């Protein structure tokens, strides 16, 4: 082994006697001397550090690079020693031992870095060794000598040592930051609040920023364990949502002032975004331009290489100059591409955050009329769809203009190489480009239709999920499931069109590099503008490959830009919509008043400006400080609207509203946030333990909280779904009381609680705890009116009467009509029990004088809300898998739809395409060596191969589309069936947002993204393998670099994927809270504004947006980190291939093969990066499959029909119900909710079910409908065990008016008769009986009049009347009324009870009620307490004893005594 006349096994120091710096021998001698010096310094430093006992800063754990390099060093050391033994002469052996020792010392240095100084020394040593070895080897090549393979390997290991020195430098920087963090631990806790968890970008060095090394610590953590949300660092202040929003709003307000002066109609959102973020996008544009220039010079480099190999004499300087230019262009291209991508995403993230916050802020300011134009679902869409889409705007904007630049420059290069011969090629290129425009338009049109169909499906799905309880109770699952499936069928029709058009577009894209080169070659042959040699042909092919990307991307970018414009317009419309006129913060157009607490003068108010008459007319109101005001009146009189007028929420036509202090508001429909009970009560106020305990006590929550398994830290589900109606109402009342405001507006807060609890709330809370406060109470509970200062009676939007109870009663007008029903009920009650003893009457009328009542009250306080007794929180954290998804999820996607054969055919078509493409390239490379091949034959064979390959790609595209469509259909069908068949407990414990996320974004990924990425990953992976095979077939030596580079790339991909996968999963759980929070805010915005909590909600929303953005930000930077390293590794393979083509003898490789090798080599990096990105995307997308499968496999409820146990068609003919040892628990191992209930409801009887809120009344009804299955015991109806029959057979035979009245978007007809069973006459008769005929007959649409989302355009009382209308149509033998008349006034309640008695005289009627008159005339009364049946008897017998029921009646009478006793006295006399 010799070169330049020197035996490499000998010492070169003999050359120093005749020193000549230009001689290789002298240069080698100097290098050996420097090696000895470095060895001496290293071992001296190592010994000193061992003596001192100092240890390394940071972790001693080495990464995989150090391990690989140390193994390489050991192997080289062994090789040197073996070589010395083989030569076996003293001088050679000594030289070999020295070199073996030096490489062994490299191994020691890699593992013995005990302090930062040794690390610095090692870095200098390794860098110097690499530079010296490189200098010597380049000098050897320039002098025409050959470098041996062993020396080449050593040179490569020197480069690895150089990489380790950079790693050391990064470690040193990281260790400094760690020292800073450690030092900060000694500082006070307040000082280190953010420092320890903020992203490392702010402290990164230039090199670290350039290579994205600042994210190393997060990736290292992600590789060692699955990442959790708390592991994600905070954003830099400059990236936070608040700063972006402030900058955006500054530009917005400036433009708003300008346009108001100029009457300009330009899109303010677009121009505000442009003004705010244009500066940072100038740098991104520079990166993008530089990257485009570097990309389009690739064909010129190839052209130069082929011409160089064609030259007769080898000029290494020229060859290495071309190589150096290639290295420079590729490295700059990689760095610019990565920083352009990262910068675009970062800028987009800030735009997205700014717009999300702007939408939320606008939501907090929207006027009532504007809120009707933008439903909750639409506002969530502005955030979830439009703001997210505009986050992609910078990326696509830069792609659009750089693609145009790239296309123009590529055409110029093509002309410079082949001249006018390129002109014919422009024709098909132009045709393909122009054909892309209609394709883009058609796809955009289909996409718009698809999105509209998807929106419609999601709106229905959202409504159905929110109302799933009523759907199951009424057994309407099939009806609504078919509705969803029919909406999906419309959506699927457009999806199919999109996929077919995309398949055609794919064929068009791949035809482009087939037809265009053929036409260009023909042009060259015809015009003779350029010779058809290797240089021309492969330069043309490479140029057209470079042009392929912009030709494909420009139409896509334009399509995205159209969608972006639509989003800009939507947001512009929303942000310019009407706001509340505000003189005192958000939400109140009020003036401060010091004389009166509330004052309204000549007030006229209207909800709908198009309406003929005002909602409230001629309101004149003066309320003194500390007064208690009650507002009463029939359903739809305008009581709630009066409170809205005080709040400033209803548009004012005329008059003045003055409010003198802070307000607390309790809405009629309880608004509860997701979170703990404590969070809902505190509502952002600091915890005052004494006040908090007092508030929970006066709001009758103390017992409930004690009985929850997690106390006041019990999680409340979405919209308070896991709390009873009474608990929700009391929680929001407690929230208002704890808020300690001056004025309290209470909108019917007692409707959802029983009489005893209502009395406690009224006396202890309203009259005692709020005794010094001003209270305006809207109520239907007439019994409380005697104790208030003033009563306002409302009718048809006008205050018809006002005064004290005595004044109004003596007036003998509308007020007396209101209370007459209440008095009648009490009088009837008195008549019913006129035979009772005096002591019984005395006990009932004066319960506070009886000791036994006090005992009973204590007993009643033992009643426990058993819903809270579950061992775990009802609403659990969202389940997410961790770790590698493996290949199982990919295979599940294919096998779930039974498409294995289709997938096999798709792969076969792909491989056929690649094989034909490779064959056509080889033909071009080898044809030059065949003398008889003419230009015509050359072009003809190439065109044939290419055209055949295009046909296979067409087949592949169609098969991939078919595969995706089949999978979408299979997954959606299974998912929908699983959701509709899920038990009610699933909906109680799963927020609607979780289900909707799977039904929207996850399904969208399944529809569009996975089929595309799955086939592309397989395709590009095969293409990379073929590329390396082609390069190896020409220069096999490239394997020395290609194999390690590929292995390292795979390792880096896996290393990054460990973190990327978890980041994607976390991102799936951080997006939903943002949407849920916005939806909750939209529903409760009146309460938020009323209680002056806007700033707190805004601050909380900012935190959620920043949390979501932080995950997105680090997910992007992790991707760029991995791609940059993979690019550099693959570039190393390309550089090696190019270097080998320079170094190999001329005759060994023909120019055609040089062109072939380089044309493939230049695509290797792009292919590898594309594969890496696509695989990352696929791994992220496949998580959607895993998430949907989670819900496909949820346990289902029992079947709709059990063929062996079908009841007779006439069942139930009697309506007898037997409960036998009935026990209910909500989950296995949870505490019992109903405990051994034994009783019989006789056929045709009326049974009243009473008990304190949460005592198990609603659970009993749930058991009757089998919403929850008995854990023990049986329920028999007419002797048939209902637990053995199908659910549909059971539920269709039972009727119910539920506690929460539910209406669906549609018409009055579809709400009363969803299944379309009844004629219009029957519906009108039902409406007449339930007191709605008069109201509906005035509507222009009659039965076809619209019902808005969740029945929002009807009052709560009217909604309950609709539910009564449904059961009047069904006329089943068993009717259940679950708090059915809680939200209607006593007069209407009395009429309805008479209707029910008449219409259901022969039916078994089970009434769960809070009002005693509602159940007092029942045949039997069931009293539940703590899940146990404590009493079941006739009301008269229970009243005759000191029973639970008699005490409940006594409590009710006690609260009614003042206004009812005179009447009773008159009757008695």
881 or 345, which is more confident: 345
What does the DSSP 8-state code read for residue 1231? P
pLDDT digits (tens, 9 = 90+) for 296-317: 888 888 778 777 777 666 677 7
Question: How many other CB atoms are there within 10 angstroms of residue 21's CB atom?
Answer: 7
927 or 1341, which is more confident: 927
What pLDDT does 1020 receive?
A: 82
- The bridge status of strand 675-676 relative to strand 1428-1433 is unpaired
Answer whether 861's CB lies under 8 Å from 703's CB: yes
Q: Which SS3 state, helix, strand or coil, does residue 1375 take? A: strand
Cβ-proximal residues to 448 (8 Å cutoff; 6+ apart), any chain: none
Positive or negative CA dihedral for 670, 675, 680, 684? negative
What pLDDT does 941 receive?
A: 85
| pLDDT above 60 (res 1382) | no
861 or 643, which is more confident: 643
Q: Which SS3 state, helix, strand or coil, does residue 1429 take? A: strand
What is the arithmetic mean of pLDDT over 609-618?
Answer: 72
Answer whether 947's CB lies under 8 Å from 965's CB: no
For 1245, the token pair is: 């009887």
Q: What is the band of 1 on the pLDDT scale with cuts at 50, 70, 90?
A: very low
Going by C-alpha positions, the residue among 1048, 1019, 962, 1013 that lies closest to residue 1179 is: 1013
Looking at every residue in the chain, the average pLDDT score rounds to: 76
Ranked by mean pLDDT, which of 55-69, 498-512, 849-863 comes out on top?
Answer: 498-512
What pLDDT does 870 receive?
A: 41
What pLDDT does 1158 receive?
A: 76
Longest dimension (CA), the chain: 143
Going by C-alpha positions, the residue among 166, 30, 42, 161 that lies closest to residue 101 is: 42
What is the arithmetic mean of pLDDT over 431-435?
Answer: 74
1048 or 21, which is more confident: 1048
CA-to-CA separations, 1451 to 58, 661, 846, 856, 1409, in angstroms, rounded:
72, 35, 9, 10, 15
What pLDDT does 6 receive?
A: 38
| pLDDT above 50 (res 1163) | yes
Q: Which SS3 state, helix, strand or coil, does residue 1247 take? A: strand
What pLDDT does 193 receive?
A: 34
Alpha-carbon span 692 to 678, nearest angstrom: 9
pLDDT digits (tens, 9 = 90+) for 115-171: 667 777 878 888 888 878 877 777 777 666 667 777 778 888 888 887 787 777 654
Alpha-carbon span 803 to 790, nearest angstrom: 5
For 501, the token pair is: 């058009």
| pLDDT above 80 (res 665) | yes
Strand runs labelled E in 1199-1267 = 1217-1224, 1234-1241, 1246-1250
Positive or negative CA dihedral for 138, 139, 141, 147? negative
Answer whether 27's CB lies under 8 Å from 136's CB: yes
Residue 953, φ and ψ in degrees, nearest 5: -70, -30
pLDDT digits (tens, 9 = 90+) for 1219-1264: 888 888 877 777 778 888 888 888 888 888 887 766 778 788 888 8
Alpha-carbon span 612 to 560, nearest angstrom: 45
Least trusted range by pLDDT, from 47-61, 92-106, 1229-1243? 47-61
The burial class, CB within 10 Å (0-12 / 13-18 / 19+), for 490 is middle
150 or 245, which is more confident: 245
- Which residues does residue 632 pair with via DSSP β-bridges, in sequence order? 793
Least trusted range by pLDDT, from 63-77, 863-877, 1074-1088? 863-877
What is the arithmetic mean of pLDDT over 68-94?
Answer: 75
Ranked by mean pLDDT, which of 203-212, 877-886, 1171-1180 comes out on top?
Answer: 203-212
What is the arithmetic mean of pLDDT over 70-94?
Answer: 75
pLDDT digits (tens, 9 = 90+) for 524-548: 877 777 777 777 777 787 777 777 7
What pLDDT does 60 receive?
A: 40
In the chain, the percentage of residues whose pLDDT exceeds 70 is 80
What pLDDT does 937 receive?
A: 83
CA 487 to chain centre: 23
pLDDT digits (tens, 9 = 90+) for 978-1005: 888 888 878 777 777 778 878 877 888 8
Q: Which SS3 state, helix, strand or coil, does residue 351 take? A: helix
What pLDDT does 278 receive?
A: 86
For 1041, the token pair is: 């670099």
| pLDDT above 80 (res 824) | no
Q: What is the DSSP string of 1264-1291?
A: HTTSS--SEEEEEETTEEGGGS-HHHHH
| pLDDT above 50 (res 220) | yes
What is the arithmetic mean of pLDDT over 939-944?
Answer: 83
Alpha-carbon span 570 to 269, nearest angstrom: 10
Helix, strand, coil proportions of the chain in percent (round to 5)?
A: 70, 10, 25
Cβ-proximal residues to 223 (8 Å cutoff; 6+ apart), any chain: 1055, 1058, 1059
| pLDDT above 70 (res 188) | no
Alpha-carbon span 628 to 790, nearest angstrom: 7
Q: What is the band of 3 on the pLDDT scale with cuts at 50, 70, 90?
A: very low
Cis peptide before 1212 (omega within 30 of 0): yes
Answer whether 1109's CB lies under 8 Å from 345's CB: no
Alpha-carbon span 375 to 359, nearest angstrom: 13
- To the question of pTM greater than 0.85 for the whole model, the response is no
Place of tokens 């390794």: 126
1454 or 425, which is more confident: 425
Place of tokens 């014919």: 424
| pLDDT above 70 (res 610) | no
Alpha-carbon span 1107 to 1018, nearest angstrom: 35
What pLDDT does 612 receive?
A: 65
Answer whether 35's CB lies under 8 Å from 69's CB: no
Q: What is the DSSP string of 649-676?
A: -SPEEEEEEEE-S-EEEE-SS----SEE
What pLDDT does 634 receive?
A: 76
- In this structure, what is the dihedral angle of CA atoms 823, 824, 829, 831, given to the nearest 10 degrees? 120
* End-to-end Cα, the chain, rounded Å: 133
Give the helix ranges, DSSP H, for 1035-1150.
1039-1090, 1094-1143
Alpha-carbon span 764 to 32, nearest angstrom: 96
What pLDDT does 818 receive?
A: 64
The burial class, CB within 10 Å (0-12 / 13-18 / 19+), for 206 is exposed
Residue 676, φ and ψ in degrees, nearest 5: -85, 165
Answer whether 1311's CB lies under 8 Å from 1364's CB: no
The residue length of the chain stands at 1469
What is the arithmetic mean of pLDDT over 1152-1172?
Answer: 75
What pLDDT does 847 receive?
A: 33
* Residue 453: half-sphere exposure toward Cβ, Cα within 13 Å: 20
Alpha-carbon span 355 to 1346, nearest angstrom: 33
Q: What is the band of 717 on the pLDDT scale with cuts at 50, 70, 90?
A: low
For 1417, the token pair is: 């005339």
1452 or 1172, which is more confident: 1172
| pLDDT above 80 (res 1105) | yes
| pLDDT above 50 (res 49) | yes
């Amino acid at each position: 082994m010799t070169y330049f006349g020197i035996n490499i096994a000998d010492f070169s120091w003999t050359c120093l006697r005749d020193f000549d710096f230009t001689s290789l021998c002298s240069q080698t001698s100097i290098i050996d001397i420097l090696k000895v010096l470095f060895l001496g310094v290293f071992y001296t430093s190592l010994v000193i550090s061992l003596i001192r006992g100092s240890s390394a800063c940071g972790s001693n754990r080495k990464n995989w690079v150090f391990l690989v390099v140390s193994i390489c060093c050991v192997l080289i050391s062994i090789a040197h020693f073996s070589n010395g033994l083989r030569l076996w002469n003293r001088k050679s052996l000594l030289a070999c031992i020295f070199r073996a020792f030096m490489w062994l010392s490299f191994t020691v240095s890699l593992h013995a870095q005990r302090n930062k100084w040794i690390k610095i020394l090692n870095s200098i040593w390794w860098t110097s060794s690499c530079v010296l070895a490189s200098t010597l080897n380049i000098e050897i090549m320039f002098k025409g000598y050959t470098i041996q393979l062993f020396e080449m390997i050593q040179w490569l290991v020197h480069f690895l040592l150089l990489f380790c020195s950079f790693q050391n430098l990064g470690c040193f920087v990281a260790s400094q930051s760690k020292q800073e963090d450690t030092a900060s631990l000694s500082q006070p806790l307040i000082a280190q609040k953010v420092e320890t968890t903020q992203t490392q970008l702010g402290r990164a060095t230039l090199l670290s920023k350039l290579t994205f090394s600042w994210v190393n610590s997060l990736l290292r953590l992600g590789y060692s364990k699955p990442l959790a949300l708390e592991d994600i660092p905070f954003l830099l202040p400059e990236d936070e949502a608040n700063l972006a929003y402030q900058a955006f709003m500054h530009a917005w307000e400036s433009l708003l002032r300008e346009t108001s002066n100029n009457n300009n109609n330009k899109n303010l959102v677009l121009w505000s975004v442009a003004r705010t973020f244009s500066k940072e996008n100038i740098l991104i544009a520079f990166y993008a331009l530089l990257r485009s220039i570097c990309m389009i010079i690739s064909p010129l480099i190839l052209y130069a290489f082929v011409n160089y190999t064609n030259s007769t004499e080898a000029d290494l300087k020229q060859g290495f100059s071309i190589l150096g230019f290639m290295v420079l262009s590729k490295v700059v291209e990689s760095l610019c591409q990565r920083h352009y991508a990262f910068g675009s995403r970062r800028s987009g993230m800030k735009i997205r955050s700014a717009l999300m916050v702007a939408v939320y802020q606008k939501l907090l300011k929207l006027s009532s009329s504007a809120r009707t134009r933008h439903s909750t679902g639409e506002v969530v869409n502005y955030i979830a769809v439009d703001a997210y889409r505009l986050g992609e705007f910078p990326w696509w904007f830069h792609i659009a203009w750089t693609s145009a630049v790239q296309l123009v420059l590529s055409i110029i290069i093509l002309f410079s190489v082949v001249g006018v011969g390129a002109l014919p090629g422009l024709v098909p290129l132009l045709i393909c480009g122009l054909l892309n425009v209609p394709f883009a338009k058609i796809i955009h049109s289909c996409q718009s239709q698809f999105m509209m169909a998807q929106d419609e499906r999601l709106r229905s799905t959202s409504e159905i999920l929110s109302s799933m309880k009523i759907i199951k109770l009424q057994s309407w699952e099939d009806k609504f499931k078919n509705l969803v499936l029919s909406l999906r069928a419309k959506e699927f029709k457009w999806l199919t069109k999109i996929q077919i058009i995309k398949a055609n577009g794919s064929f068009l894209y791949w035809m482009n590099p087939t037809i265009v080169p053929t036409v260009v070659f023909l042009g060259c042959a015809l015009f003779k503008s350029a010779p058809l040699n290797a240089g021309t042909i492969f330069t043309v092919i490479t140029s057209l490959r470079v042009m392929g990307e912009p030709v494909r991307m420009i139409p896509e970018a334009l399509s995205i830009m159209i969608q972006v414009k639509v989003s800009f317009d939507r947001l512009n419309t929303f942000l310019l919509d009407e706001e509340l006129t505000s003189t005192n913060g958000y939400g109140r157009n009020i003036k401060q008043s010091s004389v009166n607490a509330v004052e309204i003068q000549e007030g006229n108010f209207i909800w709908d400006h198009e309406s003929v008459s005002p909602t409230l007319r001629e309101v004149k109101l003066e309320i003194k400080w500390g007064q208690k005001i009650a507002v009463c009146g029939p359903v739809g009189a305008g009581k709630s609207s009066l409170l809205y007028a005080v709040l400033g929420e209803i548009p004012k036509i005329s008059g003045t509203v003055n409010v003198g202090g802070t307000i607390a508001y309790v809405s009629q429909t309880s608004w509860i946030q997701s979170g703990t009970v404590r969070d809902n009560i505190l509502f952002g106020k600091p915890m005052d333990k004494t006040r908090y305990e007092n508030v929970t006590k006066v709001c009758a929550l103390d017992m409930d909280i004690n009985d929850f398994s997690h106390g006041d830290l019990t999680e409340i589900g979405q919209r308070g779904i896991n709390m009873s109606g009474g608990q929700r109402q009391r929680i929001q009342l407690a929230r208002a009381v704890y808020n300690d405001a001056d004025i309290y507006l209470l909108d019917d807060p007692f409707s959802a609680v029983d009489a005893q609890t209502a009395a406690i709330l009224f006396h202890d809370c309203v009259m005692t705890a709020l005794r010094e406060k001003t209270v305006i109470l809207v109520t239907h509970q007439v019994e409380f009116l005697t104790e208030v200062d003033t009563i306002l009676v409302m009718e048809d939007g006008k205050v018809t009467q006002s005064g004290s109870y005595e004044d109004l009663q003596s007036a003998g007008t509308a007020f007396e009509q209101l209370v007459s029903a209440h008095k009648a009920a009490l009088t009837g009650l008195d008549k019913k029990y006129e035979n009772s003893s005096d002591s019984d009457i005395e006990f009932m009328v004066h319960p506070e004088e009886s000791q036994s009542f006090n005992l009973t009250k204590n007993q009643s306080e033992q009643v426990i809300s058993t819903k809270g007794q579950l061992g775990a929180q009802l609403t659990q954290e969202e389940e997410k898998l961790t770790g590698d998804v493996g290949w199982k999820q990919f295979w599940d996607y294919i096998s779930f739809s039974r498409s294995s054969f289709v997938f096999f055919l798709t792969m076969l078509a792909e491989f056929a395409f690649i094989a034909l493409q490779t064959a056509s390239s080889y033909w071009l490379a080898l044809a030059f060596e065949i003398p008889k091949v003419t230009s015509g034959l050359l072009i003809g064979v190439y065109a044939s191969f290419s055209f055949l390959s295009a046909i296979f790609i067409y087949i592949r595209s169609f098969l991939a589309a078919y595969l995706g469509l089949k999978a979408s259909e299979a997954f959606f069908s299974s998912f929908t069936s699983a959701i509709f068949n899920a038990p009610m407990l699933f909906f109680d414990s799963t927020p609607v947002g979780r289900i909707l996320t799977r039904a929207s974004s996850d399904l969208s990924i399944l529809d569009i993204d996975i089929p595309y990425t799955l086939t592309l990953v397989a395709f590009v992976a095969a293409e990379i393998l073929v590329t390396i095979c082609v390069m190896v077939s020409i220069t096999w030596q490239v394997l020395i670099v290609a194999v390690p580079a590929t292995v390292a790339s795979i390792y880096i991909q896996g290393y990054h994927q460990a973190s990327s996968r978890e980041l994607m999963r976390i991102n799936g759980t951080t997006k939903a809270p943002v949407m849920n929070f916005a939806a909750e805010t939209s529903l409760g915005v009146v309460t938020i504004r009323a209680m002056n909590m806007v700033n707190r909600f805004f601050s909380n929303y900012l935190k959620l947006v920043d949390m979501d953005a932080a995950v997105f930000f680090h997910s992007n930077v992790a991707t760029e980190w991995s791609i940059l390293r993979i690019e550099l590794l693959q570039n190393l393979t390309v550089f090696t291939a190019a270097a080998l083509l320079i170094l190999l003898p001329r005759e060994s490789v023909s120019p055609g093969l040089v062109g072939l090798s380089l044309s493939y080599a230049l695509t290797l990096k792009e292919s590898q990066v594309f594969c890496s990105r696509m695989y990352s995307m696929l791994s992220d997308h496949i998580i959607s499959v895993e998430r949907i499968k989670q819900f496909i496999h949820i346990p289902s409820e029992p079947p709709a029909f059990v063929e062996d146990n079908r009841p007779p068609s006439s069942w139930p003919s009697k309506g007898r119900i037997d409960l036998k040892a009935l026990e209910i628990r909500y989950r296995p191992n949870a505490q019992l909710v109903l405990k051994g209930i034994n009783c019989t409801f006789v056929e045709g009887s009326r049974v009243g079910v009473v008990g304190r809120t949460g005592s198990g009344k609603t659970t009993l009804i749930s058991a009757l409908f089998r919403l929850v299955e008995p854990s023990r015991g049986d329920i028999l109806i007419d002797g048939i065990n209902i637990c053995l029959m199908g659910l549909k057979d059971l539920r269709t035979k039972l009727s119910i008016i539920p506690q929460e009245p539910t209406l669906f978007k549609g018409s009055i007809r579809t709400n009363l008769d969803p299944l379309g069973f009844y004629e219009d006459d029957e519906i009108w008769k039902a409406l007449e009986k339930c007191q709605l005929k008069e109201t509906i007959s005035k509507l222009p649409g009659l039965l076809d009049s619209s019902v808005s989302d969740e029945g929002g355009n009807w009052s709560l009382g009217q909604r309950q009347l609709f539910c009564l209308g449904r059961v009047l149509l069904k006329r089943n033998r068993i009717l259940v009324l679950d708090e059915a008349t809680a939200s209607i006034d006593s007069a209407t309640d009395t009429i309805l009870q008479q209707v029910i008695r008449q219409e259901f005289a022969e039916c078994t009627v089970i009434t769960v009620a809070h009002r005693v008159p509602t159940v007092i005339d029942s045949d039997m009364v069931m009293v539940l307490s703590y899940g146990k049946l404590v009493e079941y008897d006739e009301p008269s017998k229970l009243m005759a004893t000191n029973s639970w029921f008699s005490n409940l009646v006594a409590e009710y009478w006690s609260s009614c005594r003042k206004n009812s006793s005179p009447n009773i006295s008159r009757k008695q006399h």
